[in-house]
Structure 1
């Protein structure tokens, strides 16, 4: 009878140990999944920031181009006026 009790106790201890190992394994998997999710979220945030920076850069470039065009039109008109004045003075 004591052999049976020892065998049962041994089986119970083994089952408890296996259960603890399984729990530890499950916790490790959960931690890995959480880390992966955090990494994915960080990557998404970085991508969004990069996109925003690209959009801002594009807007700046467009504004600079517009300003350059306005300056060219402004100075082009002045220069054209000067050259026509120069022509008039040479002709007269």
Structure 2
């Protein structure tokens, strides 16, 4: 499987909502400014990390190239059936 997206661990899910809201605004502005290309998408999901639930943000390679966010990890695309998309369309994630 190829490395096809980026992931950011926003930390404990109970404490990460404000950071997620801030990132959603920044990423939405980038997405709209780029004229909503099909290759750009972003979503988040809750994942178990040890004994805690963390909020993970996933970005397309194209979106991260424009956003230039810190502390991102190149990763394989996870199963995104339980993800919450807020940019792009799930059908375009390939």
Q: Same fold (TM over 0.5)?
A: no
TM-score normalised to the size of structure 2? 0.23
Which entry has the higher C-alpha Rg, 1 or 2?
1
In terms of fraction of residues, the more helix-rich structure is 1
Highest RCO, 1 vs 2 (Cα 8 Å, sep ≥ 6): 2
In terms of fraction of residues, the more strand-rich structure is 2
